[in-house]
Amino acid sequence: MAESAGMRLLVTGGSGFIGTNVMARFIRAGIPLLNLDWNPPLNPAHQTYWKEVDILDAAAILSALLTFEPTHVIHLAARTDTEEPVDVDAYRQNHEGTRILLEAIKQVPTIKRVIITSTQFVCEAGYVPKDDLDFKPFTVYGESKRRTELATREAGLSCVWTIIRPTTIWGPWSLRYRDVMFKVMRKGLYFHPGKGRVIRSYGYVGNVVWQIERMLDSPKEKVHERVFYVGDQPIDLKDWVEEVSKQLVGQRVRYIPTWIVKGMALCGDLLKAVHLPFPINSGRFRSMTSDYITPMDRTIDALGEAPFNMVDAVRETVRWYDDGSHRWSAGSRKDARIHTDQHRS
């Protein structure tokens, strides 16, 4: 990294899935690091880099930045599920937390570059945005990230800033894939809905970290005030599922008619309503049967081709899964509406 000399990197949300991989990369690089998160790190080896801070606590955020004096900031802290169907304030840590962080950044003169994390869900599946300000979110989570992007543009930062929109990201430290797909596949209970071609924008987390690192190190004119989708080129979902099955259980995927899986998903919805776990619901069914393609050409043109291919990436993920991944547990999720009221009182 050309800019690594003298770099001091602050990561918000470094205890989460992508954050854990970001922290690991820069720990290996010997960069001074600070992770601000209200949860402890997924990886206990990262404990010494963690400071417990609520992204909605403006005073604590500013104090941490002034004390650490970072030169670079990667903002990953967010609520990322899509379970809340109506109230965007349930995702207040996304847009309001970003606004608080941006206000603090403006008061820290050492900061040279900032990466703010949005999501591909600022546009619904099938909608190709005409430009960076063309949004069509279909969930309140997506709406919270639309507000995150607007807050970034309106902040008046004097440093270099970039917005990233992760696609569907997978890889080591993804507890979601560990607890759903991988566990079900290992038990011999995984069935894929039909054999139709479904094109999805997925991304191996190692490639996403590489893309983020490249952004921190690229000339200003390539990344300043720009929006990049991060992940891999769109793929046929079956190719990825077949590779995972091959390496995880040593056999091909079993397919069943789509209508049967749809019925199972409806049953999953009913069980979810009474808080009973089930491996598939309507949301996962749509994800497995609907195209979702995001434009990756801009990212590749600016940053180059990411280094990890699918076979090697699946191998690394399976290795992590088998190497004691059951020991790690997800952090708590707080209701931002309650915690915001506490900070105001």
Summarize pLDDT for 164-189 with one digit per residue, the tens: 999 999 999 999 999 989 999 999 98
What domains lie within the chain, and their CATH numbers? 9-168+202-231+295-306+330-344 (3.40.50.720)
- Name which residue leads in pLDDT, 277 or 138: 138
| Average pLDDT of span 259-281 | 82
Model's pTM, two decimal places? Answer: 0.92
The dihedral built from the CA positions of residue 14, 18, 20 and 24, taken in this order, carries a sign that is negative
Q: What pLDDT is attached to residue 85? A: 86
- CB atoms under 10 Å from CB of 249, counted, come to 16
Specify the long-range contacts of residues 42-49, CB closer than 8 Å, at least 24 apart: 42/15, 42/16, 42/17, 42/173, 42/175, 42/328, 42/330, 42/331, 43/173, 43/328, 46/14, 46/15, 46/20, 49/14, 49/23
Q: Which residues pair with 9 in a beta bridge?
A: 33, 72
Q: How far apart are CA 54 and CA 61, in angstroms?
A: 8
Q: How far apart are CA 23 and CA 213, in angstroms?
A: 11
Q: What pLDDT is attached to residue 206? A: 98
Q: How far apart are CA 170 and CA 175, in angstroms?
A: 9
Tokens of 230: 């991060």
Write the pLDDT tens digit of every residue in 282-326.
877 777 788 899 999 999 999 999 999 999 999 999 999 999 999
Q: State yes or no: pLDDT of 2 exceeds 90.
A: no
Cβ(19)–Cβ(11) under 8 Å?
A: yes
